[in-house]
A and B are shown apart, each in its own frame.
Chain A
Amino acid sequence: MSDARTGIRLSRRAALAGAAALVGSAALPAFADEKKVVVGTWGGDYARLLNKNIEAPFLQSKGIEVLQDIASDEPRRNKMIAEKRLPRGTTDVQGLSQLNVAQMVEVDVLEKLDYGKLANAKHILPQLRFDYAVPHIYSGLVVLYNPKLIDPAPSGIADLFEAKNAGKVGVIDIQYQWTLMAAALVGGGSMSNFEPGKAKLMELKARGVKIYPTNEALAQALKTEEIGLCVMWKARAVQWQNAGINVKTIAPKEGVPLYISLLAIPKNAPHKEEAYLYLDASLEPEAQVNFALDMGYNPVVDDAAPPAEVTARIGFNEEERSRLVNPDADYIVKNDAQLKDWWDKVFKS
């Protein structure tokens, strides 16, 4: 092959090699260590606030491209399991609850964190420190009530089981683990033994408990005063109060189970360096305070101080903090199948 004007002769083999090189160079950016991080996260406000409070100010401003892989935690957990055998996964950071993290550790898909790469990690509250994920925000399971329907105010989870509140109590189907946990605290169980909670829930069933499919459906029932008493994370209660639903909360005397939302790195994350930057940015005091202001969840670091009136609304005082209990995630993961079986076949039947 030759070009008559330039006289350059090009063999077919050289032309093919050149074309291959061109295709190869075009594909290079896809494999190069570009500044990019893919974050698996729940959608809605949480995804929007991740962008507003973490991604835009701390990563995108430094030229790091951030992509969100939005889905509830169930498909994202299964995607990680499905990608377990691949050398390169498709996400770099995953937002998970402490129960999700325990399950993912069990199936060996999460990176054991190198805390030396996290400058802000030294400020993490000691009881919220984990080997395989950094905490992002936390709240506690409280008793939520409508003061118009429930008077006097409840003092603990036991109030849900009192005869005078029959027909006013609601539970959420997808929160079966937390509902069993709360019932166990009343029935003589513990964070590592939910069995006594089953008998308590059967009492509740006999008294006409209403079961709602999602948090949002329960919020709607609170709004229409179909129910007036339930257990829920305090942060959600704050959001519902902000939405004009007439509810108050008390930190139950039996104990306040901690709900922690964390950020973890899959073992086969393709952009681990940026993933660590993301985790560290999530612990920045400014980001932590903004999440408290915007979403009603508490900071997980000791150097973030939301305004006192916000802390009073979303947080727990010293006496309440003494009742905070961390769920035994390993127990729940190991017993989840039988707990769900019981919930579906006995409690809901």
Chain B
Amino acid sequence: MAGGTALSDAALPLGRGPLEGVRERTSDGRPSLAAALAGPATVYVALALLLPIALLFRYGLNHFTPGNDLHWPLTLENYVRFFSDAYYVEVFLRTLRVAVVSTAACLVLGFPLAYVLARMQSGAKNFLIMLVVLPLFVGNAVRAAGWMTLFGSRGFVNAALIGGGLIDHPLVIMYTETAVLIGIIAVNLPFMVLTLQSVIEGIERAVEEAAQSLGAGPLATFRRVIWPLALPGTVAGTILTFILAMNAYATPVLLGGPKFQMMGPLIYGEFAQQSNWPFGAAISFILMSATIILTAAANLAAQRRYRR
């Protein structure tokens, strides 16, 4: 794809970047500017992220004692417990299902909206972008509370349906997977839209016009031109919303209810309610690893598709 080549890594050969001249050491042997610039952030990430993750990993290999004291030898019993118990595997698969479905829904709903926003020229564009961002000003828990008033057996949705004579008995929406999916999609949609919008804005309108002048219809233009060019942004938006959905906490707790368990609330329960840090740490690592592996795989697949 010609358009793809122009934006691919080949356009910026490794070693020819803007920091080429300051990459290693200066002539008097002092550390380079690049190292100095990267240093503080690296130290911060190492201290604030990698060390706690290392500690978490260590706890995951610990045998549980009421005081959560670290001791030897290391054990895999927490991981064995998770994967040998159908209950925990089901929670993991449910989390995966919710994350995949909500991410797909965000993509399907978000792409047209992002396209319209990207191509808008009028002054209403900023206003509409603000409307997209507006839900992010409200915390997840508060937003879920709003959904609760809509979804309850005597909430707005049921009252309207019963009042309109469409149903006799209230629908069960609260404390179901559907409620959780609606809640998560509402939370994640702005992230998808904003990511896609900025990428689509970078695609020249002239490219679409060229495709159309060569006889491509709207569908073919989308499939052969816009989609491939927007793929990097689509992957970024998809990964972002997928990670958010995999780690959702407030929405599953408030809209899913006691019987609907996802990985985030499960981890909190093990750490906080049961004080079982080793098992909580192991579940955290399983969730983190699954998220990283799946996003890396998606990224890799997209890159291959992009380079074709």
Contact = CB atoms under 8 A, between A and B. Distances in A.
Contact of B273 (A213, A340, A348): A340
A81 B259 contact: no
A211 B153 CA distance: 14
Contacts of A340: 273-274
A213 B253 contact: yes
Interface string B137-176: 0000000000000001110000000000000000000000
Nearest to B271: A78
Contacts of A224: 152-154
Contacts, number: 46
A211 B257 contact: yes
A74 B275 CA distance: 8
Interface residues of A, number: 23
Given A345-B87, A349-B87, A173 B258 contact: yes
Interface stretch (A48-56, A103-111, A196-204, A309-317): A103-111
A211 B274 contact: no
A107 B67 CA distance: 5
B276 interface: yes
A152 interface: no
Interface in B243-269: 253-254, 257-259, 261
A103 B274 contact: no
Nearest to A213: B258
A164 to B, nearest CB: 21
A42 interface: no
Contacts of A173: 258
A336 B276 CA distance: 11
**For the side of the interface on B, what is the size category?**
20 to 34
A336 B67 CA distance: 15
B202 interface: no
Contacts of B68: 81, 107
A210 to B, nearest CB: 9
A74 B66 contact: no
B67 A81 contact: yes
B162 to A, nearest CB: 14
A336 B277 CA distance: 15
A286 interface: no
A202 to B, nearest CB: 15
Nearest to A84: B67
A236 interface: no
Contacts of A348: 258-259
Interface of A: 74-75, 77-78, 81, 84, 103, 106-108, 173, 211-213, 224, 226, 336-337, 340, 344-345, 348-349
Given A173-B258, A344-B261, 16 more contacts: A74-B273, A75-B272, A77-B275, A78-B271, A78-B275, A103-B66, A108-B67, A213-B253, A213-B257, A337-B274, A340-B273, A340-B274, A348-B258, A348-B259, A349-B87, A349-B259
6 contacts: A74-B272, A75-B272, A107-B68, A212-B258, A213-B258, A349-B87
